[in-house]
Amino acid sequence: MPQHEERIAAKDLSKRLRCHALRMTSLGGASHIGSIFSVADVIAVLYADILRVDPARPSWPERDRLILSKGHAGACVYAALAERGFFSTAKLETFYQDGSELSGHVSHKGIPGVELSTGSLGHGLSVGGGMALSGRLDGRNYRTFVVMSDGECDEGSNWEAILFAGHHRLDNLVAIVDYNKIQSLAPVSETLELEPFVEKWSSFGWGVREVDGHDHEKLALALRSLPFVPMRPSVLIAHTIKGKGVSFMENSVLWHYRCAKGEEFDRALTELEGGA
Amino acid sequence: MRDHFVKRLCELAESDRRITLITGDLGFGVLNEFRQRFPRQFINAGIAEQNMTGLATGMALEGRIVFTYSIGNFSTLRCLEQIRNDACYHEANVKIVSVGGGFSYGALGISHHATEDLAIMRSLPGLTVVSPCGLWEAVQAAEAVTRTPGVCYVRIDKSAGPDGPIYAGERFELGKARRLCQGTDCTIAVTGGILEEAVAAADILRSKGISAGVISCHTIKPFDADPVLQACRETGAVFTVEEHTRCGGLGSLVAEVLMDHGVHPHVFHRFALEAGFSSRVGSQRYLRNVYGLDGRTLADRISEALRKRHPSIVVADHPAPRSEMNPRFR
């Protein structure tokens, strides 16, 4: 891993990601802050402690690949890349604005560090599978991480990819599911129940672990013990809270789409800045 | 056409180990040689075309040249969004192969009639669309798409028109239409294996004293406008032939090109399928007959259209004019 940059600790990074994302979505009038906050700790731990990436060489062949398959949380990854020095944090202010390259759903064009543009759910794991398979065939050591949402697991294409990766024992592929239990209209359990979720993945041949998706130490510990089962792809089911970090957004369907403005924005920022 | 294409792909895979073939569990008997000779370049993704296409994109982004392979609409429509968002937007080196253009699998039913693919695929940004008209073009296309960066779609037809190099040493180029023969009365632009019907029509027309040129439009995108424009200026009568819906295919494309350039034919007709499903099934030849796309019907309708516009064109049983058709295409 490159050593020449000063690294931010995951705890600090997660707070910055949430503050950036709140400003970005508020300025742009964008949705999905609840989904961004639920995954912010996962993204922070990945970029602070886990991913072998080098901002000076975004296309470094041995870098770990990260695909944000839940592309609607793009603001979080943009913020993480900016904080890691892939581009200026000033660019974040253009998010969702006229003429910007920083689209609401994550895009790679002109953005160093983004591996794959997503937005339509159910695409990332297949592409990640291809990267992982290619890496294995070529004897390369990089790992491929795919961050998914729970609602995204409704997409049949994911189960094609899960079946494929299990069959081919892609042990250099890691899925992380942001299991915040709420999708865009209603709770997951009322939409399409995913439980028994662990059993589903394991029966498809994956090594599965569950973790508190807001506990940085436990997240890092799990992601340092890959693969979870030898010769198997790994999935980390991160139990999270939608809207985590702002009391009035937590566990609320409303904040999938609602954008914090005015007094709501101020209250949210105060909570985030005051929070641990 | 299929076997020739795959055979050429084997030769290419031998010398370029980046070439990887992913099948959606189809190609029984056809892909055996490839699979046996290049096990590290072959994957059966199972009956899962969305994953196949995403997988191909991921592998292509890591430096491979990845062919996806299936039949009918499975490698195109079934995974259209993966083609658009993953392969095309990322300009990945993915080559989509569909075996069975048009009514190649006519007896299998509408699920296997690939009759809207050209219209849909040509609308996608950054996608090269190739629809070889004969065996020579199919073989040439295998190499050409391998060497063309980005996403390509190759529509392989069960039938194959009579083709070969027009002259010794002819070089095949994607995006360069081929004037197979010149005509003084009209021009037939054609794509896909149905070239054989267009050539048959041109032969029949010749016997009636009508000189019809034939252009092979093997690349739908990027489209080579010049030969069509030139032919239109020369003869004023342009016909298109395709085993594809009339909506958005070659005929639409030629009409767009002519209008865009302000070149207006006196006579213009698109021979294609009416939009809709063919619940009637049968062999490719049978269905062409049913839908008026066989050589005889094409010739009749072309001569009728010409006679309406130019009553001086005499359709008679006099000896054929001196042929300008390359003998290879007779």
| Same domain? B255 vs B207 | yes
Give the end-to-end CA distance of chain A in Å, rounded to a whole number: 28
Six-digit token string for B314: 């005499």
Q: Is residue A2 part of a domain?
A: no
The β-bridge partners of B23 are B44, B69
pLDDT tens for each residue of A132-158: 999 999 999 999 999 999 999 999 999
Residue B274: what pLDDT?
84
Residue B323: what pLDDT?
42
Helix, strand, coil % over all residues of chain B, rounded to 5: 40, 20, 40
| Structural domain boundaries enclosing B52 | 2-156
Mean local confidence (pLDDT), A92-97 = 96
Q: Is residue B40 part of a domain?
A: yes
SS (H, E, C) B111-146: HHCECCHHHHHHCCCCEEEECCCEHHHHHHHHHHHH
Checking if the pLDDT of B329 tops 70, the result is no
Q: Is residue A59 part of a domain?
A: yes
The CA–CA distances, whole Å, from B97 to A78, B139, B217 equal 36, 13, 18
Q: Do B54 and A157 touch (CB under 8 A)?
A: yes
Residue B327: what pLDDT?
45
Beta strands in chain B (DSSP E): 19-23, 42-44, 65-71, 94-99, 127-130, 151-156, 178-181, 186-190, 212-216, 219-221, 237-245, 267-273
B206 interface with A at CB cutoff 8 Å? no
Residue of B nearest to A67 (CA): B58
pLDDT tens for each residue of A167-218: 999 999 999 999 999 999 999 999 999 999 999 999 999 999 999 999 999 9
Mean local confidence (pLDDT), A235-261 = 96
| Same domain? B21 vs B90 | yes
Lowest mean pLDDT among A90-99, A208-217, B162-171: B162-171
Q: Is residue A104 part of a domain?
A: yes
Q: How confident is the model at residue B149 (pLDDT cuts 50, 70, 90)?
A: very high
Q: List Cβ neighbours of A209 (8 Å cut-off, separation of 6 or more).
A: A222, A228, A234, A235, A236, A237
pLDDT tens for each residue of B281-304: 999 999 999 999 999 999 999 999
Task: Please give the distance of CA A228 from its chain centroid, rounded to a whole number.
Answer: 19
Q: How confident is the model at residue B2 (pLDDT cuts 50, 70, 90)?
A: very high
Report how far residue B89's alpha carbon sits from residue A117's, in angstroms, rounded to the nearest whole number.
8
| Same domain? B141 vs B201 | no
Q: Min CA distance, B90 vs chain A (Å)?
A: 8
How many structural domains compose chain A? 1
| Same domain? B144 vs B206 | no
Instruction: Write the single-letter amino acid at B149.
Output: P
Per the CB < 8 A criterion, the answer to whether B203 and B295 are in contact is: yes
Checking if the pLDDT of B142 tops 60, the result is yes
Q: Do B54 and A127 touch (CB under 8 A)?
A: yes
B57 interface with A at CB cutoff 8 Å? yes
CATH of residue A173's domain is 3.40.50.970
Return the residue in B20, B62, B79 with the most chain A beta carbons within 10 A, the one to mutate for interface testing.
B62
Nearest Cβ partner for A131 among B43, B61, B82: B61
Return the residue in B17, B51, B70 with the most chain A beta carbons within 10 A, the one to mutate for interface testing.
B51
Residue A8: what pLDDT?
86
Q: List Cβ neighbours of A223 (8 Å cut-off, separation of 6 or more).
A: A45, A46, A49, A50, A174, A236
| Same domain? B149 vs B251 | no
Residue B317: what pLDDT?
46
Q: List Cβ neighbours of A163 (8 Å cut-off, separation of 6 or more).
A: A204, B46, B48, B51
- ipTM score here? 0.96
Sheet arrangement for strand B267-273: B178-181, B212-216, B186-190, B237-245, B267-273
Nearest Cβ partner for B48 among A116, A117, A164: A164
| Higher per-residue pLDDT: B160 or B204 | B204
Q: Is residue B85 part of a domain?
A: yes
Report how far residue B285's alpha carbon sits from residue A124's, in angstroms, rounded to the nearest whole number.
42
How many structural domains compose chain B? 2
Nearest Cβ partner for B51 among A116, A118, A161: A161
Q: Do A116 and B54 touch (CB under 8 A)?
A: no
Q: Is residue A39 part of a domain?
A: yes
| Structural domain boundaries enclosing A62 | 10-274
Q: How confident is the model at residue A122 (pLDDT cuts 50, 70, 90)?
A: very high
For residue A257, give the 3-state DSSP assignment: coil
Q: List Cβ neighbours of B185 (8 Å cut-off, separation of 6 or more).
A: B205, B210, B211, B212, B235, B237, B306, B313
Six-digit token string for A120: 């339509």
Q: Do A126 and B59 touch (CB under 8 A)?
A: no
Q: List Cβ neighbours of B90 (8 Å cut-off, separation of 6 or more).
A: A108, A116, A117, B57, B61
- Mean pLDDT (chain A) is 96
Nearest Cβ partner for A127 among B43, B45, B57: B57
Report how far residue B229's alpha carbon sits from residue B242's, in angstroms, rounded to the nearest whole number.
18
B80 interface with A at CB cutoff 8 Å? no
Q: Is residue A201 part of a domain?
A: yes
Checking if the pLDDT of A4 tops 80, the result is no
CA-atom Rg of chain B in angstroms: 20
For residue B83, give the 3-state DSSP assignment: helix
Q: Do B86 and A116 touch (CB under 8 A)?
A: yes
| Same domain? B90 vs B235 | no
Checking if the pLDDT of A29 tops 60, the result is yes
Q: Min CA distance, B126 vs chain A (Å)?
A: 14
Lowest mean pLDDT among A133-147, B57-71, B128-142, B161-175: B161-175
pLDDT tens for each residue of B70-109: 999 999 999 999 999 999 999 999 999 999 999 999 999 9
Report how far residue B114's alpha carbon sits from residue B77's, in angstroms, rounded to the nearest whole number.
9
Q: Is residue A4 part of a domain?
A: no
pLDDT tens for each residue of B299-324: 999 999 999 887 666 554 444 444 44
What is the H or E stretch that residue A176 is in? strand A173-179
CATH of residue B10's domain is 3.40.50.970
| Same domain? B199 vs B144 | no
Residue B318: what pLDDT?
44
Six-digit token string for B185: 């009365």
Q: Is residue B205 part of a domain?
A: yes
The β-bridge partners of A238 are A178, A211
Q: Is residue B167 part of a domain?
A: no
Of residues B166, B216, B175, the one with CA closest to residue B193? B216
Checking if the pLDDT of B328 tops 80, the result is no
| Same domain? B187 vs B41 | no
Helix A262-274, helix A10-28: angle, nearest 10: 170
| Same domain? B127 vs B207 | no
Per the CB < 8 A criterion, the answer to whether B102 and B130 are in contact is: no
Q: How confident is the model at residue A6 (pLDDT cuts 50, 70, 90)?
A: low
Residue of A nearest to B91 (CA): A109
Nearest Cβ partner for B86 among A123, A135, A156: A123
pLDDT tens for each residue of B229-267: 999 999 999 999 999 999 999 999 999 999 999 999 999
Per the CB < 8 A criterion, the answer to whether B215 and B192 are in contact is: no
Six-digit token string for B216: 């092979």
- Mean pLDDT (chain B) is 93
| Same domain? B246 vs B290 | yes
User: If phi over 0 gives left and psi between -120 and 50 gives alpha, with beta otherwise, what is residue A21?
Assistant: alpha
Q: Is residue A5 part of a domain?
A: no
Residue B309: what pLDDT?
81
Residue A276: what pLDDT?
52
Residue B319: what pLDDT?
42
Six-digit token string for B102: 């048009």
| Same domain? B120 vs B210 | no
Q: Do B55 and A135 touch (CB under 8 A)?
A: no
Q: Min CA distance, B20 vs chain A (Å)?
A: 10
Q: List Cβ neighbours of A28 (8 Å cut-off, separation of 6 or more).
A: A95, A96, A97, A104
Residue A1: what pLDDT?
47
CA torsion angle B313 B314 B319 B323 (round to 10): 10
Six-digit token string for A37: 């906050």
Helix, strand, coil % over all residues of chain A, rounded to 5: 45, 10, 45
% of residues, chain A, pLDDT over 70: 97
| Same domain? B152 vs B9 | yes
Residue B313: what pLDDT?
61
Q: Is residue B213 part of a domain?
A: yes
